[in-house]
């Protein structure tokens, strides 16, 4: 491992790998990325549902989506790795009039950004996603250019591309501390010795707070467990088999019941679904809570009756990386020179990793990122001036 570097990145999830790739594209290749696990992308990135959407409530997040989805669409041509990219849309189902009103503002904002998003009738919603029970649904929004892609493909694509340009990626190496000279970073301490560097990027996802502690900087990111379940077709086979026609969508459309946060999309021959638990407390435990499944199934069966006789073949849990306003932190610390954060994406980071990595790489390379980072500044929490993201699923 190198003992001096221009930049050290802590964390080899989609964020760390995206910044590494974008730095390398800008000619900054004296970079070391450190991942404490034996493999890249085993944190939140390895647990996620692969969804991407333009349907956010905050202008800055919509802008991140537009740029990120454009790069993902052309990922294989630009970065060199296939990512199983599908634009079959996101369908939001709204059952409370207050949420319909909020989404009216959101849709108008998304349209101002040029996003093709629209209201659909319950009949259209059923055509888009056969098998839905829309009892109580007062409104639905659909954006055909939302979709799903492969998070591992994106992460490994960025990592391999960065390595090919000279970035050093060290697995099984933990960042354990940092040395400062006054307010300036001088060294990063690791489980394999120190690296002398003027810049440390905190890309540690749900663990971002602990990296901040090494430098005496408060990085307010809290871990929160989220589950994903996979439902196989009853009696085996695939949901695509003729006997299930009309019971579940054939496309990879991602449907979200906004009030309950229950969502699903097709995954291979099965169905992937999940839901947030309002009672979940912050913590790093990712044990699957099988006692939560009946609560999810109760909601799931109402919206997608096909799930009532499905077999849940497997499940996993991962961590959302929540900030107080559900917006990410992208940019420098004003307390320690040379300390940057790209973390706290509050459950929608996979889809924003391409643009977020580009923006931070521009900042570090001294280029104009052409993006107003005010809503994502670390200092916003101290200023208490936050206009966060309301559309968290």
Instruction: Identify which of residues 71 and 100 has a Cβ nearer to ligand FAD in the complex.
Output: 71
What is the closest distance, in whole angstroms, from the C-beta atom of residue 393 to ligand FAD in the complex? 8
377 binds ligand FAD (CB under 6 A): no
Which residue, among 248, 278, 282, has the nearest Cα to 266 in the 3D structure? 248
First to last CA, the chain: 40
Stretch that binds ligand FAD, among 25-33, 38-46, 161-169, 231-239 (CB under 6 A): 38-46
Instruction: Identify which of residues 244 and 258 has a Cβ nearer to ligand FAD in the complex.
Output: 258
What is the closest distance, in whole angstroms, from the C-beta atom of residue 314 to ligand FAD in the complex? 13
- Residues within window 126-185 making contact with ligand FAD, judged by CB under 6 A: 174-175
The SS3 of residue 239 is: coil
- Residues within window 191-220 making contact with ligand FAD, judged by CB under 6 A: 203-207, 211
- Do 303 and 262 form a contact (C-beta atoms < 8 A)? yes
What is the closest distance, in whole angstroms, from the C-beta atom of residue 236 to ligand FAD in the complex? 26
Q: Residue count at the site for ligand FAD (CB under 6 A)?
A: 41
Query: CA 289, 290, 294: angle at the middle one, nearest 5?
Result: 120
- Do 57 and 106 form a contact (C-beta atoms < 8 A)? yes
- Residues within window 7-36 making contact with ligand FAD, judged by CB under 6 A: 10-16, 34-36
Instruction: Identify which of residues 153 and 244 has a Cβ nearer to ligand FAD in the complex.
Output: 153
Using a 10 angstrom Cβ sphere, with 0-12 exposed, 13-18 middle and 19 or more buried, the burial of residue 41 is buried
- Do 270 and 233 form a contact (C-beta atoms < 8 A)? yes
- Residues within window 331-360 making contact with ligand FAD, judged by CB under 6 A: 343, 345, 347-351
SS3 string, 199-225, reads CEEECCHHHHHHHHHHCCCCCCCEEEE
What is the closest distance, in whole angstroms, from the C-beta atom of residue 274 to ligand FAD in the complex? 6
37 binds ligand FAD (CB under 6 A): yes
Which residues make up the interface to ligand FAD (CB under 6 A)?
10-16, 34-37, 42-45, 47-51, 174-175, 203-207, 211, 226, 228, 318-321, 343, 345, 347-351
């Amino acid at each position: 491992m190198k003992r001096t570097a221009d930049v050290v990145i802590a964390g080899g999830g989609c964020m760390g790998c995206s910044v590494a790739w974008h730095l390398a594209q800008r000619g900054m290749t004296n970079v070391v990325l450190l991942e404490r696990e034996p493999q890249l992308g085993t944190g939140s990135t390895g647990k996620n549902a692969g969804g991407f959407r333009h349907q956010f409530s905050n202008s800055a997040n919509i802008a991140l989506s537009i740029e990120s989805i454009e790069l993902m669409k052309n990922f294989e041509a630009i970065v060199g790795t296939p990512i199983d990219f599908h634009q079959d849309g996101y369908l939001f189902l709204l059952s409370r009039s207050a949420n319909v009103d909020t989404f009216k503002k959101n849709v108008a904002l998304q349209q101002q950004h040029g996003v093709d998003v629209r209201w659909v009738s319950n009949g259209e919603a059923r055509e888009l996603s056969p098998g839905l029970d829309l009892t109580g649904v007062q409104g639905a929004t659909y954006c055909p250019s939302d979709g799903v892609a492969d998070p591992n493909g994106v992460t490994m694509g960025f990592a391999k591309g960065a390595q090919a340009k000279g970035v050093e990626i060290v697995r099984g190496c933990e960042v354990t501390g940092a040395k400062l000279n006054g307010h300036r970073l001088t060294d990063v301490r690791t489980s394999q010795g120190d690296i002398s560097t003027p810049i440390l990027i905190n890309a540690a996802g749900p663990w971002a707070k602990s990296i901040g502690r090494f430098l005496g900087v408060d990085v307010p990111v809290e871990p929160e467990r989220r589950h994903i379940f996979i439902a196989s077709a009853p009696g085996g086979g695939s949901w695509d088999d003729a006997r299930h026609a009309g019971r579940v969508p054939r496309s990879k459309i991602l449907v979200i019941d906004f009030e309950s946060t229950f969502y699903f999309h097709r995954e291979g021959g099965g169905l992937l679904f999940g839901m947030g638990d309002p009672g979940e407390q912050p913590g790093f435990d990712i044990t699957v809570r099988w006692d939560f499944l009946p609560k999810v199934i109760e909601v799931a069966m109402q919206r997608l009756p096909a799930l009532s006789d499905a077999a849940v073949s497997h499940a996993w849990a991962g961590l959302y990386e929540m900030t107080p306003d559900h917006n990410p932190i992208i940019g420098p610390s004003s307390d320690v020179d040379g300390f940057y954060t790209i973390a706290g994406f509050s459950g929608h980071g996979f889809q924003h990793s391409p643009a977020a990595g580009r923006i931070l790489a521009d900042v570090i390379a001294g280029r104009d990122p052409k993006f107003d980072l005010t809503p994502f500044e670390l200092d916003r929490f101290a200023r208490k001036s936050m206009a966060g993201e309301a559309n968290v699923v």
